[in-house]
Amino acid sequence: MEDIRNLIRYTNENTTPNPGRQKNINHKLLLVSCTKRKSSGSGKAINVYDGQYFHVIRKRYRPDAGIDIKIISAKYGLIDADDEIDPYDHKMTAKDAKIYKQAYEKDLQELFSGYSTVTFCGSKLYASILPETNAYIIKGRIGIQLHLLKEWLCNNGQAAQGQQ
């Protein structure tokens, strides 16, 4: 029962979807925060980041599942999982998060409006960057987050029964 309460819906009823963009009801977005651990060499972001979220994603993600993956990077901003990046040593601060929130709020709202489901996995600091719009935020201790992320990926971007 505790697992079910840890995947919550973050919602603002006043948010309207972007009228210029048609929502794809079968397409989902997974938004993940970057991690401190990184590989030693350059490459696709999905392979450079080496934290626990990315271990689960690399193991469970299926390209045919209709899920796009984007990353909020402390250095690079909002990036695609396939973007080429270099490893870096920069930690997101509360000041950075405020700047990112202002810089990316409209872009994120527009991005989110094009998906049937948006799910975020990351720390509270990174979650504070998200605009007030419909998105699932995976919460809880790291073990619970990893379990819920794995379940979400294994279910093609659907929360487990009772979590929506």
Segment among 14-18, 56-60, 109-113, 130-134 with least mean pLDDT: 14-18
> What is the count of structural domains for the chain?
1
Segment among 132-136, 140-144, 152-156 with least mean pLDDT: 132-136
pLDDT tens by residue, 9-59: 333 333 333 334 455 556 899 999 999 999 999 999 999 999 999 999 999
Which residue did the predictor score with more confidence, 47 or 133? 47
Segment among 121-130, 141-150, 155-164 with least mean pLDDT: 155-164
Residue with tokens 């987050």: 145
CB 98 within 8 A of CB 120: no
Left if phi > 0, otherwise alpha if psi is -120 to 50, otherwise beta: which for 82?
Answer: alpha
In a domain, 137, yes or no: yes
* Domain extent at residue 8: 2-154
